[in-house]
A and B are shown apart, each in its own frame.
Chain A
Amino acid sequence: MMTLGIGILVAGATVAAVVASIRIIAGPTDADRVVALDIFLAAAIALAVAASLGTGRTVFLDVAIGLALVGFVATIGWARLVQRSPRSKTPPENES
């Protein structure tokens, strides 16, 4: 039962990561790519929990805590970058 649950979790996270990578490659705007990175973060946390359940060790839960921290900062950083980068259709305003 437990092994089957871990298998389902790993399969779901892997499929989600594969589907999100399609959006990373295809995504017309940069915001779409950052959104797909969010799915990657969720899949990585789910995989860390699955590794922790599979081995019975809590070390991988610490990895998941670190992933949640780093993913938050990374998403905010990408959002700021996307917001400040000049658009292609209008010329960028004067920034002093």
Chain B
Amino acid sequence: MSLAGFILLAIGAALLIIAAWGVIKLPDALSRQHAATKAGTLALALVLLGAWLLMPTVEWGWRLAVILGFLLATLPVASHLLARAAVVEAGMEEQIRNAPLVGDDPR
């Protein structure tokens, strides 16, 4: 149990560094935001799960579950609004409007 928690904490810390590295390395705001949100959410989920495996009691469990549930509920909304703001700021509205949607006939 302790070893599994330790491994999850280590993977979470490594993923957090990878997310930050993606924010540095990727070329534009949209891809940076994709790296930060997805990798950051997975890293935090692994860290919270590892913390619960290290301290498997009820009062730790519900607090960690509240944090994780709240992050999973709010981070997609926040990242969506942030992506829209990035598109507007880069002046790419026309490009986005003409982009093919899922389900369109391929031309």
Contacts and interface: CB of A to CB of B under 8 A. Distances in A.
- Residue from B10, B32, B33 with most neighbouring chain A CB atoms (10 Å): B32
Nearest to B37: A38
User: Interface SS of chain B: helix, strand, loop or mixed?
Assistant: helix
Interface residues of A, number: 53
Contacts, number: 168
Contact of A80 (B12, B40, B48, B85): B85
User: Interface SS of chain A: helix, strand, loop or mixed?
Assistant: helix
A61 B37 contact: no
A94 interface: no
Interface of A: 1-2, 4-6, 8-9, 11-13, 15-17, 19-20, 22-23, 29-32, 34-36, 38-39, 42-43, 45-46, 49, 52-53, 56, 58, 61-62, 64-65, 68-69, 72, 75-76, 78-80, 82-83, 85, 87, 89-90
